[in-house]
Amino acid sequence: MILVTGGAGFIGANFVLDWLATSDEAVLNLDKLTYAGNRDNLAALAQDSRHRLVVGDIGDRALVDALLQTHRPRAVINFAAESHVDRSIHGPAAFIDTNIVGTFQLLEAVRQHWNGLEPEDQQRFRFLHVSTDEVYGSLAANEPAFSETTAYAPNSPYSASKAASDHLVRAWHHTYGLPVLTTNCSNNYGPFQFPEKLIPLMLHHALTGKPLPVYGDGANIRDWLYVGDHAAGIRRVLEAGRLGETYNIGGDSERTNLQVVHGLCDMLDRLRPDPQGSYRRLIRFVSDRPGHDRRYAIDARKIRTELGWAPAHSFESGLEHTVAWYLSHATWVERITSGAYRDWLATHYQ
């Protein structure tokens, strides 16, 4: 059995679904079910005895201790995090509580569990911490992509809290010997993503005829990684990664935000034409967010050369899968775009 934390969120749920599609090893799933954690993401596993969802917080030490003692997982994969930059600007406290304090409590519970294992089980055990490329800061147009040795320079409350969690994981390995692995990924997209992030937000707005709000001049650059490729990369790191090491997982798909929005509009024009004209007509440039990093780019050579992983999807093929999924899952979108979600949009994009 493995323990996955945050496994009802976007990336975590995709990982759990992919894991159980390729392995019979059971998954114990601990998720707090905040606004971004959604039982519906795991509906396909409702009758699957290999999966158990426990509603709870990684910061609840008594709960985590009990789960580790009862189920004795061979690995813990930590997806649990507050992850939206915009929300961290408006309310950083939740990011400190979950990403820093929560990770600390989880590490301490895992360390106690690991110390009590038999030597053979200790050798087999892994703690894999899932992080972000945002911890590295911002790149100029001509700078080389982020590598695993790039100095941390986080610029938002979100990225600062994730950087702190990465440092804790590293310290628990070097100080206590905890067998850890860390992955830093680029911008994910795909099924089940909460529509506050760029791609699902634009899809939701376009299909409902609302303006498509693009920050600043739309020239901010991100590397885009299809979530299924990310899940495959994490599985590979868990299987063969060197203890204490960090592995960057990227899609090798740098695009400006405006290029992404244009691509989405053009794809919707083809798959679901609007009688009123191209979806591009809905694009509106809005005030940039504070401290908006200009460019992220991932150098994923380490995971390619050491572990043989590479993304299976180009940006275009991944986007095609993503748009097709959202078009065929309108009920899922309707269920999560509640009044609270509409209030958030009104506050943030006013």
User: With contact defined as beta carbons under 8 Å apart, do 133 and 248 qualify?
Assistant: yes
Element spanning 215, H or E: strand 212-215
Closest alpha carbon to 57 in 86, 26, 111, 94 = 94
More confidently predicted of 308 and 333: 308
Identify the pLDDT of residue 346. 66
Determine which one of 136, 158, 247, 296 is catalytic: 158
Whole-angstrom distance, CA of residue 129 vs CA of residue 116: 21
What local confidence, expressed as pLDDT, does residue 83 receive?
A: 81
The gap from C-alpha 308 to its chain's centroid, in whole angstroms, comes to 22
Is the pLDDT confidence value at 350 over 90?
no
Is residue 134 flagged as an active site residue?
yes
Helix, strand, or coil here: 52?
strand
Q: Which residue in the list 134, 223, 254, 299 is annotated as catalytic?
A: 134
The CA distance from 181 to 113, in Å, is 17
Tens-digit pLDDT profile for residues 160-170: 999 999 999 99
Selection from 188, 181, 327 nearest residue 245 by Cα: 181
pLDDT per residue as tens digits for the range 42-71:
999 999 999 999 999 999 999 999 999 999
Structure confidence at residue 184 as a pLDDT band (50, 70, 90): very high
Task: Give the pLDDT mean for 295-318.
Answer: 98
How many residues appear in the chain?
Answer: 350
Q: How many CA atoms lie within 13 A of 288 on its CB side?
A: 11
In a domain, residue 261? The reply is: no
The alpha carbon torsion through 210, 216, 217, 219 (nearest 10 deg) reads -100
pLDDT above 90 covers what percent of the chain? Answer: 88
Q: Indicate whether 51 belongs to any domain.
A: yes
Which residue do the tokens 């930590």 mark?
78
Q: Running DSSP on this structure, what letter comes out for residue 79?
A: -
Residue 19 lies in a domain: yes
* Confidence label for 333 from pLDDT (cuts 50, 70 and 90): confident
259 within some domain: no
Find the range with the poorest average confidence among 4-13, 97-106, 257-266, 287-296: 287-296
Question: Is residue 331 included in any domain, yes or no?
Answer: no
Specify the number of domains making up the chain: 1
Helix (H) or strand (E) holding 334: helix 330-336
Residue 302 included in any domain: yes
**Which one is catalytic: 31, 133, 223, 293?**
133
Residue 335 lies in a domain: no
Range of the domain at 109: 2-189+223-253+295-313
How confident is the model over 112-146, as pLDDT tens digits? 999 999 999 999 999 999 999 999 999 999 999 99
Q: Is 133 a catalytic residue?
A: yes
pLDDT, greater one: 340 or 212:
212
In the numeric block, the tokens 């309108």 are attached to 330
Angle at the Cα of 72 from the Cα atoms of 68 and 73, rounded to 5 degrees: 95
Read off the pLDDT of residues 276-286 as tens digits, 9 standing for 90 and up: 999 999 999 99
Confidence of residue 18 (pLDDT cuts 50, 70, 90): very high
Token pair in block for residue 187 = 């911008």
In a domain, 96, yes or no: yes
Q: Is residue 158 among the annotated active site residues?
A: yes
Contact residues for 22 (Cβ-Cβ < 8 A; gap 6+) = 235
Return the CATH number at 182: 3.40.50.720
